Amino acid sequence: MTKVLVLNGPNLGRLGKRQPEIYGHTTHAELAELCTGWGADLGLEVEVRQTNHEGQMLDWLNAAADDGLPVVLNAAAWTHYSYAIFDACAQLTAPLVEVHISDPHQRPEEFRHTSVVTPYAVEVIAGHGIDGYRMALEVLARA
């Protein structure tokens, strides 16, 4: 079974509470359970992690690069400005799928229209809510 990391960045631990009109009512714990189940159905061993600490995310991405693990990444706010995340994504040796619950390009804040992750992603899935994670796992299952 292929191991896949689903990595979520800042504030995503508050899913279900934070702006449910944008991000929905599913909690991060529920998302993790869904991802694990979807992955199992696809023959993937899924590990879901969330952090509000950029250095922790970098450590996880570096370890994924070293171990050759595919990654589903929702870098959240770091998507738009973190060159450290950009550099870590550049080191990945297995496929990376970028996922966003909302569609950053449809959001009014101009800064959300730029992604430092996209250059290294085999696919970007945005605006499909929590289901975007299932779609991202399907991409990795086919890779």
Q: Would the annotation count 87 as a binding residue?
A: yes
- The active-site residue, picked from 28, 100, 105, 120, is 100
- The active-site residue, picked from 23, 53, 113, 120, is 23
Q: Would the annotation count 101 as a binding residue?
A: yes
133 is a catalytic site residue: no
Measured CA distances, 112 to 78, 102, 139 (Å): 10, 11, 24
**Cα 19 to Cα 2: distance, rounded to the nearest angstrom:** 34
Give yes or no for a contact between 94 and 70, defined as CB atoms under 8 angstroms apart: yes
Give yes or no for a contact between 88 and 62, defined as CB atoms under 8 angstroms apart: yes
Measured CA distances, 20 to 14, 42, 87, 91 (Å): 10, 29, 31, 34
23 is a catalytic site residue: yes
Within the chain, residue ranges assigned H as helices are 20-23, 28-41, 54-67, 83-90, 131-142
Binding residues, by number, are 74, 80, 87, 101-102, 112
Binding residues for substrate, by number, are 74, 80, 87, 101-102, 112
Q: Annotated catalytic sites, by residue?
A: 23, 100
